[in-house]
Structure 1
Amino acid sequence: MSGEPVPIDAELAVLEALPAPTTQEWPGVDDPDVLRAELAEWLSGYANAATRRTYAYALGLPIAWVDAIGGVAEPADTARRPPAAAPGPLHRLAWFRWCAGRRLDPRAATAADVKAWLHALSAAGAQKRTRQRMLSTLSALYGHLAEAGVVAANPAALNRSRLGLSSTARDSSPTVRLTAAQLKALLVAAAQVHYSRDPRLARLYALRGVAVVALLTLGLRISELVGLDRDHLYRSGGDEVLRVLGKGGLHREVYLTDLAGEALRAYLAERDRVAGTAAPARRGRTPAGGSPMIATRGGGRCSRVDLYTLLRRIAANSGPVLDGLADRVHPHALRHAYVTIALEQDARIQHVQADVGHATIATTQHYDRGRRSRDTTAADLVAAAIAAAPSPDGE
């Protein structure tokens, strides 16, 4: 059922609580509890919490509700966090908000509705990659609903070429390309940024900033970094590795370079000292949910937004070497830099693909744990390039 647009709250209140029932209206939906259950069933099929959150953001679902589906506890230091940023220009164009504004039950949406939504996103300034990502999310949702018999067909299964949303190898990446010297400048700046007026915390936050940048130089996705627990660091074949949960629920071993290892150990030691902990909990003895590798002051798990904001702050203080680029630095830029620097250092492309977990590249699938070793990673080549790069102060 459709009609004139109506004002919609910033969040869909009907989804605020789980599993308590609600009497609040979801415009256009006669059975909101049923729709909520159908969404929960779909999202619970994804093991990766970051994937669930990404889908929730694109659709306009409250993140806390989606986290509750996966049993993720609310961070203990929520009250200490700064106010959330104001909604951006695409906030009300998340799919469920857009449908609710038209009193349209999402289960009754047609291909014409999806096209109208995409055109609205374009008019609001959404870039091609953003529209591609949001359409892919929608297609995944409706693919599940079609399989479950909730809808007759997938309205998001559109001809992307006609919509100008097809991807080709000729599409250039908008990601800024960072050099080894610029990565070194980020590491130096991370240790020097003034993070807190409290001297007891200044060193902790500085070491955390360095650890975050150092771990991102391993080619990790930001979702992989925030999902790491302390017991995901262990020794394998005599080397320190991180057990990383990547896309598709697939794990891979990421070898820790001396650069990343030293930064991580320094941060964790200081964190334990500030918290009054003599030693980190042993593997298998951590609390339910694990102890986050990168934590907030209260010990909670940092969010992607937390680390994105942290990286931007570091980039803004990185000096002339990043002039004109600081506002374009984001976590994926460091992952991109890992790949480009590794290939510039003549690393085998198969090793690089295995390092970063490019599951869509055929050769990557041949790299299982039994074939991974220190000789089949480009991590040390990238770390060596960063170490050899000139320092930002010219020394």
Structure 2
Amino acid sequence: MEQDPLAVLEAVRHRSPAVRPLVPDESVWPGVADPETLRDQLLDWLSQYANAGTRRTYAYALGLPITWIDPAAAPERPGPPAAPPGPLHDLAWFRFCARRALDPRDATAGHVKAWLHALDAAGAQRRTRQRMLSTLSALYGHLAETGAVAANPAALNRARLGLSSSARESSPTVRLTAEQLKALLLSAARLPYSRSPRLARLYALRAVAVVALLTLGLRISELVGLDRDDLYRTGGDEVVRVLGKGGLHREVYLTDLAREALTAYLTERDRLGGTAAPARRGRTLAGGSPMISTRDGGRCSRVDLYTLLRRIATHAGPALDGVADRVHPHALRHAYVTIALEQDARIQHVQADVGHATIATTEHYDRGLRSRASTAADLVAAAIAAAPDPAP
């Protein structure tokens, strides 16, 4: 069987980057004479980002194998087959170049514009094209700085392309109400786990903890990156230290809702694991242990939690009718912001809570001014608690 000429751009399991040289008789990168050098240049760029979730997102968006930067990102596991590639799969930038036998370092502004037009023709929304162009521009900015390319071909006039940052559309994210968030919490608690009855309580408590943490406005990448050591007390309050975009940390205050859900989950997890210190008070003894883990103690992936949340929404009953298939982690982050503002929270507090670094008043927010009174978390939790119980 003829070898796929794009094999180098597909995830290859069972092999780690350290033991997988790109030799001509094993893998071919069309148009690239020195694939090892290009790979090292790309990994050098990705290594600048402290957040592993950011590295994986950028690699995936550009069409690079996730196993290059995270060999454990796609472990073999029993279960249903992976979903088929989406309509934009072959239009990831490096696949676009490879199908034209174009060395990405020789790309011009004309190639980038042709790629953007192809994305548009394939149905990519403006926000998607904005995001993909921004990622590409960041990559080529680095390659230009290091001398790998002469100039940045993605430094285009975005206004002419209809992709300027001021050209904003209404968000396609479903708007969830406080009542719907409560329905998700109740659904998580009663989610059926017929295949593992002995672990049913653990899995239900984990599901509730995931939803409760997402009601704090966390990004999904921030949630999966949390360790138990990130939970501690400051100023008399319990917080989680979250690693956000740009490698910046922020403190997120735990609501009673999130604290109780997390305590119940960690206590049950420790009980089943035989840990001597079942709960946690102050800084935990479980250094390096993921906050939300698989049954074997590994770190859950974003796909794991996305799938879990969609399953929770599907079982949430009438409150989620018509929107269950549109519920995803960012929808809960979106809900945090909208509910907080509806409850008259100060917008500066909300921006600080969710780590919106693009807002000048938040980007350089003085951590010394952060306190329990300067977070909208309790307002959002109170709105969820006050929401009427969904119809059975």
Q: Distance in 2 between matches of 1:284 and 1:215?
A: 18
- In structure 2, the partner of 1:87 is 85
Q: 1:304 to 1:267 in 2, by over 3 A?
A: same
Show CA shifts across 1:151-191 (max 9, x none): 11111111112222223375211111111001000101111
- In structure 2, the partner of 1:61 is 64
Conserved in 1, the CA contact under 8 Å of 2:219 and 2:333?
Answer: yes
SS in 2 for 1:243: strand
Q: CA RMSD in A?
A: 2.2
Question: Which one of 141, 148, 151 corresponds to residue 139 of structure 2?
Answer: 141
Conserved in 2, the CA contact under 8 Å of 1:12 and 1:97?
Answer: no
1:50 aligns with 2:49: no
Q: Distance in 2 between matches of 1:389 and 1:8?
A: 52
Conserved in 2, the CA contact under 8 Å of 1:77 and 1:300?
Answer: no
- In structure 2, the partner of 1:27 is 30
SS in 2 for 1:334: helix
Letter in 2 for 1:137: T
Q: How many residues align?
A: 382
Q: Distance in 2 between matches of 1:340 and 1:218?
A: 12
SS in 1 for 2:70: helix
Map 1:74-153 to 2 at 5 A.
74=72, 78-80=76-78, 82-153=80-151
SS in 2 for 1:19: helix
Q: Distance in 2 between matches of 1:206 and 1:284?
A: 22
- In structure 2, the partner of 1:247 is 245
SS in 2 for 1:25: coil
TM-score relative to the length of structure 1? 0.91
% identical aligned pairs: 78
Map 1:218-233 to 2 at 5 A.
218-233=216-231
Conserved in 2, the CA contact under 8 Å of 1:12 and 1:26?
Answer: no
Gap runs ≥5 in structure 2 = none
Letter in 2 for 1:22: L
Q: Distance in 2 between matches of 1:112 and 1:208?
A: 49
- In structure 2, the partner of 1:279 is 277
Conserved in 1, the CA contact under 8 Å of 2:8 and 2:28?
Answer: no
Q: 1:41 to 1:133 in 2, by over 3 A?
A: same
Q: 1:108 to 1:169 in 2, by over 3 A?
A: closer
TM-score relative to the length of structure 2? 0.92
Q: Distance in 2 between matches of 1:280 and 1:362?
A: 42
Deviation, 1:309, is 1.0
Deviation, 1:341, is 0.8
Q: 1:215 to 1:385 in 2, by over 3 A?
A: same
Deviation, 1:364, is 0.9
Letter in 2 for 1:138: L
Q: Distance in 1 between matches of 2:232 and 2:149?
A: 46
Q: 1:196 to 1:53 in 2, by over 3 A?
A: farther
- In structure 1, the partner of 2:44 is 41
SS in 1 for 2:226: coil
Q: Distance in 2 between matches of 1:108 and 1:94?
A: 17
